[in-house]
A and B are shown apart, each in its own frame.
Chain A
Amino acid sequence: MAKTILTVKNLTKKYGENVIFKNINLTVNEGDTIVIIGPSGTGKSTLLRCINLLTYPNEGEIWLDDKEITAKGCNEDIVRQHIGMVFQNFLLFNHLTAIDNVKLGLTKVKHMNPVEAHTKAMYELERVGLADRAKHYPGQLSGGQQQRVAIARALAMDPRIMLFDEPTSALDPELIGEVLEVMRKLALDGMTMLVVTHEMGFAREVADRIIFLEKGGIVEEGTPDDLFYRPKFERTREFLWKITELYGKKEADKK
């Protein structure tokens, strides 16, 4: 049986009276790619932000490997080194070149020596196909390239799990493919990934499990085939149909 990397137990997050999500349970095994889908405002992004402690849940526990990271006294800076995060808006450090973006965490967080850090950073840029853009500043790169640098930056820390928060939502349609391609490759390489996305083609092809989140709760979860062909709930079918219509008609037709 595969090793469990991430366990989320009865997680609840609210802002004042406003409940974002409630009693979420989730297990991610090593090498899994799990896709979270759901209408906007259902707490998908907040869930990811809770998992790497960018915001704290009100109730429940999060376990990374065999450690409860929501426990009191847990060093969040250390936790985040093991959890890579990719944002919708890339959030590259605009004053640094691509290579320096990737290198910063290595030198300032992992205290790697500059030569080693450079080699590692170049390796990660190669992985996302951007070795030739190493000296470019974010402002000189396309959105797709910026997002790939952001992925390399997260990968450089050798995280146990990668979180993707709608990584292609801010991209022009013709740039989405290159980012998905990098993510597909990562999944095949065995990276553990938790992905919030509307890219149904990617979800069907790459996901081990899809989780349908709505109104702060998990409506249904299962393999792509389960959800697409044998959904338990009418609401799941409806949502998937709608979103496939919008985003991935072509992929759906091919199948």
Chain B
Amino acid sequence: MNDWFALFIHYLPDFIQGAGVTLELTAVGLGLGFILGLALALLKLYGPKWLRYLAIGYIELFRGTPLLVQLFLIYYGLPSIGLTLSQSMSAYLALGLNSAAYQAEFFRGAIQAIGASQMTAGRAIGLSRWNTIRYIILPQALRLVIPAWSNEPISLLKTTAVAFLIAVQDLMAEGKRAATATYNPIGSYLAVAVVYLVLVFILNEILKYLERKTRIPGFEMESKKV
């Protein structure tokens, strides 16, 4: 136990550095996924037919294939058509494109739960379709989505570990390095697991805060009858 603790302390600066990269991957992947996912959800629900099918196709494709395959296709595959991306760029892109497919489904669900009636109410006072989406539907849907969507950042944070396989120097890579240097893989990966756990815990608290902060007064899920 003491040995393990010594190892943990010794490699902590490296782990922290790796954790920084992991958090970067999570943030960029989540951000890219958010923007693209929201666009996909809106297209799937409100877009013209061909865009609707495009969105559905995208979502099915990216949810239906392993992230690792997508990452390898981007990193090793794209250069063959003349597009060479750095390791971290490839990881950002793969995580973002993949996360978008999942986030799109969360958004779609929330938008549908807000319902056609709010669209009717918006249109009835003369708002255009897009303005109703912007001022009425999205502000409500983005609040409603938080509890379910909160799984995505947590899940993504752990998923970023695949970036290690294209040699991005993330937390996982630091763990591997410690394992090689100390001949103690169990201790090293346990230490890395602890750091992941702490990151998830912090992220979870942030998400809970966000959920509390955006709650609409007097409007809890149970009271939503209309």
Contact surface of A with B, Cβ cutoff 8 Å: 52, 54, 77-78, 80-81, 84-85, 87, 89-95, 104-105, 108-109, 136-141, 153-154, 157
Contact = CB atoms under 8 A, between A and B. Distances in A.
A156 B220 CA distance: 28
Contacts of A87: 117, 120-121, 124
B136 interface: yes
A90 B220 CA distance: 17
Contact of B126 (A81, A95, A136): A81
Query: Chain B contact residues: over half helix, strand or loop, or mixed?
Result: helix
Nearest to B134: A108
Contacts, number: 82
B218 A137 contact: yes
Closest 7 CB pairs of A and B: A139-B218, A140-B218, A139-B219, A81-B126, A91-B121, A105-B125, A109-B126
Contacts of B39: none
B80 interface: no
B17 interface: no
Given A54-B123, A92-B121, A108-B135, 9 more contacts: A54-B120, A84-B125, A87-B124, A90-B226, A94-B219, A95-B140, A104-B125, A108-B131, A157-B126
Nearest to A87: B121
Interface residues on B, range: 20 to 34
16 contacts: A78-B126, A80-B126, A81-B125, A87-B117, A87-B124, A89-B117, A91-B118, A93-B121, A93-B140, A95-B219, A105-B126, A105-B127, A108-B131, A136-B218, A141-B218, A157-B126
A80 B123 CA distance: 8
- The listed residue with most A CB atoms (<10 A of its CB), out of B118, B123, B125, B135, is B125
